[in-house]
Chain A
C-alpha cells in the first residue's frame, strides 16, 4: 500500500512566519514564509515549477490569490486541505510533484489562523446534533482516560510531556508560546481544567502563522550547494476499519493509522525507529505524543510512560520528540503546522538549531494526524 518515489527529492529551502496570536492577515504571513523559504534556498520564484498551498480557511481561491504576490509565473497552484495534516499533505504533494517528474522544483506553503476557522464542534442554530458535542480536547481526553485505565498512566505523566514541550519552545524564535521560566509539571496541572484530565497548558496553542518548504531534484539541490537533506519517505493514509471504529464524532480515526503509515514510511526509507535522531508528532494533547512513542515503534506498547519518566524524549535524551515545542507550544495554526515540523527537522539536520540542537542529528521523522481522518509521515535524512 505504500507509495514510491520515481526519483530522489531534497529539501532545499524552508521559511516561517512566527506562530502567534496576533490576528495578522494570513496572506501576509504566507508571503513572508514563502519569501523566507526562497531566500533560504537561494532561488527566485520563477524557478519554482509548482506551488501547493496548505490552508484551512474558507476562502475559495485564496491559494492562487496569495501566489500572485510571489509572482505571476503561470505555474500550477493548488490548494490542499486535510485538517491538521494540511501542511504535511501540501508538502507530500510537492515531494511527489518532483519525484514523479512533473517539475524540478516545488514549493509547499501553509498559512492560517485557527482562531478564525470554524471546525469540529461548531454549533447549530437549533437544537443539538451528535457532531456538536465534541471538542478535540474532549476526544483526546477519552484516549487519556482509557490509557489511565489500561496502562495506569498518571495525570502527572501527561503534564510532564506538556511541560517538556513548553520548555523545548523557550528558545525557538518561531514558537507561539515562549515561557520566560522553566515550566513545571505542577504549573501545567494548576492551569485551567478543560476536559478531564486535560488542562489548558496541555492543550495545543491555536493561533496564526505560516511556514513553507521548497523541494527539488538532486541536480538542483547540488547546484544550490546547501546541505543535502533527502526526503527518504513520504506516506499518507486514511482510515481502515478496526474494532471499535467510531464513525460519528471521532476527531481522528483509529490509532492504527499511525502504526500503518509509519510502517510504510520505514519500509520506503529502508530505515527503522532505531535510526531516528528526532521526531515531531501531532501532540495536540500529551496523550497523543505518549501513544505515538509506541505506535511509531520507539518503544513497546505500554512502555511510553517509562520513556517520559527517564527523560528519553526530552532534548538531550535518547530520542527527543517535539524539539521545537510541538503543537503544544510552537503552536498549531492549521495549514502551516505540518510545514513547521519540516522546518524544524531541516534546521536540526543542518545543525542550525542553536540551544535546542540535537547533537549529531542526521535523521528525523515528522508525523501528523488530521481530522476526517488522515495520517502523514515523512522521514528526512542528511546525506
Chain B
C-alpha cells in the first residue's frame, strides 16, 4: 500500500486504526498548520513537524453529483462528498468524506480513514485519505 501524497499524511502504524496528517507547529505563535509550512506565515518564525488528527469536527460539506474524481470512478454511487473538518489544534482540513449527505450533519465528529484510489504500474494499491463519521 502506497500513500499518493506522502508529504501530506502517513499510513497507520502498529495498532493505530487511522492515518495521521503531517503538519507544522510554530512555537512562537502557537499556531498549527496543514500542510507543512516552511516557516510560520504569521510570525515568520521556525516551525517543527507535527502529526495532526486523527479526529475533528465537520464544519461544512457538499455532495458532488459527478461520476469521477480525478481518475477515480464512483460507478453507481452517483458522486462523492467533500467536507471541511476542524481539528482540535485549530486547523481546518478539506478532504473527501465517506458516504452520502444523509450520513452526517455539521458538528459531527469525523475520523481520518484511508481511501483506495487505484494501483500503480507495479500493482501496488494507492491510497489517499478521507474522513468518515465516527459512530
Q: Does B128 contact A145, Cβ atoms closer than 8 Å?
A: no
Nearest chain A residue, comparing its CB with the CB of B94 = A249
Cβ contact within 8 Å between A142 and B82 = yes
Q: How far is the CA of A194 from the CA of B121 in the complex (A)?
A: 33
Least Cβ–Cβ distance between B32 and chain A, in angstroms: 11
Is the beta-carbon distance between B4 and A196 smaller than 8 angstroms? no
Residues B62 and A145 in contact, CB atoms below 8 Å apart: yes
A334–B19 Cα distance when bound, in Å, is 38
Q: Are B70 and A134 in contact (CB under 8 A)?
A: no
Instruction: State whether B118 touches A126 (Cβ < 8 A).
Output: yes
* Shortest CB distance B115–A (Å): 8
Binds A, one of B10-18, B33-41, B46-54: B33-41
Pick from A129, A192, A241: contact of B4, CB below 8 A.
A129
| Most A Cβ at <10 Å: residue of B64, B90, B126 | B64
Asked if A132 is at the interface (CB within 8 A of a chain B CB), the reply is yes
For A250, list chain B residues within 8 Å (CB).
Answer: 94
Query: Taking the complex as formed, is A128 at the interface, i.e. its CB lies under 8 A from any CB of chain B?
Result: yes
A139-195 interface (Cβ within 8 A of B): 141-146, 149, 192-195
CA gap between A146 and B115 in the complex, in Å = 25
Known: A193-B65, A248-B34. A243 touches B90 (CB 8 A): yes
Contact between chains at A194 and B66 (CB < 8 Å): yes
Given contacts A135-B66, A138-B64, contact A124 B34 (CB under 8 A): no
Q: Give A124 to B83 CA distance when docked, in angstroms.
A: 21
Partner of A128, one of B4, B59, B82, B106: B4
CA distance A193 to B94 in the complex (A): 21
Shortest A125–chain B CB gap in Å is 8
Measured between beta carbons, the chain B residues less than 8 angstroms from A146 are 59-60, 106
Question: B72 to chain A: which residues have CB within 8 Å?
Answer: 128
Q: Which of A144, A145, A250 has the most CB of B within 10 A?
A: A145
| Closest beta carbon of chain B to A311's beta carbon, Å | 28
A125 CA to B117 CA, complexed, in Å: 12
Asked whether, in the complex, the Cβ of B70 is within 8 Å of the Cβ of A123, the reply is yes
15 contacts across the A-B interface (CB closer than 8 A):
A125-B71, A126-B71, A126-B120, A127-B117, A127-B126, A128-B69, A141-B64, A142-B60, A193-B65, A195-B63, A195-B66, A198-B62, A244-B84, A246-B93, A248-B94
Measured CB to CB, the residues of B under 8 A from A are 4-5, 8, 31, 33-35, 37, 41-42, 59-66, 69-72, 80, 82-84, 86, 90, 92-96, 101, 106, 115, 117-118, 120-121, 126, 128
Q: Nearest 5 CB-CB pairs, A to B?
A: A141-B62, A142-B60, A123-B70, A146-B60, A249-B94
